[in-house]
Amino acid sequence: MASDANAGSCCPPGSWGDLQDSSDVANQAGTALALHTGTSVYVTPANPTGTPPSRVVVMASDVFGVGGRRPRLADYIAHATQAQVLLVDFQRTQTAASAKNIKEYIKQFPWTAIEEDVNATFEHVKQVAASDAKIAAVGLCWGVWAAAQMSAQGYPLIAIAGPHPSLHIEGFAFGRDTLDLVKAIKCPTLLLPAGNDPPEFQEDGEASNYLREAFPNKSKVVAFPHMKHGWTARGDFAEPNVKEDTIKALQIITAWLNERFED
């Protein structure tokens, strides 16, 4: 299922659209909580040992919400990194599924619109995590832009990882230079671009080269040339290699996060 033409420059032509895969809902390992702002968060694992987590991952989703298989992606990351993962609904129940104009939809969520929930998320982490906890971020599409903004604004992220990154939202929706945002990222970054993602995020792209130079031997780019933008969150597992490459992406992300947590 390809996305509709409305995806424009946010999700490149041929990207996956709004596939809500709920096949694993019954097997979710997490639970829901509400931040003091009222925003919902999926927290996994649901029943930690009681010891404050020393590893935390803040997860920001794409423009199609936090449902479908996204909680299961969070579960996988939590299990493989032994971190507590917070999948935060930064778009507050809204999604682009019925948006007539994707650019106008995204423009509803500049940094100033999500800052309150970002603050609340980090306040929650401060309350429940160990005092020396390390915090990383995982973004999906739009969520990579959100994570980059968090780092640029000075939130204490030790790493950012993101498949099919939509960092170019900075230019597409907000009229600013995307590379300026990339240069403002203050931590090692792992990008996993799909084949139809913009050239600047591919293995030899300008943004990718900058991140590797800024954080030598830590920033990394792993391309999935046969996948379409959105595959990990929205790709149809009935199609060849989509499930396999989703698992592969998760393995790469979690192995890399474990390295950054150990730095």
pLDDT over threshold 60, residue 255: yes
pTM given for the model = 0.92
Q: Which of 32, 50, 44, 169 is nearest to 111 (CA)?
A: 169
Reported as a pLDDT band with limits 50, 70 and 90, residue 30 is very high
The answer to whether 40 and 61 have CB atoms below 8 angstroms apart is no
- As a whole number of angstroms, the distance between CA 249 and CA 230 comes to 12
Beta strands in 167-261 (DSSP E): 189-192, 220-221
Q: Which domains does the chain have, with CATH numbers?
A: 5-262 (3.40.50.1820)
Q: What b/e string do you get for 69-103 counting C-beta neighbours within 10 Å, with b at 16 or more?
A: bbbbbbbbbbeebebbbbbbbbbeeebbeebeebe
pLDDT tens-place string over residues 7-20 = 345 666 555 556 65
Chain-centre distance of CA 75, in angstroms?
14
pLDDT over threshold 90, residue 243: yes
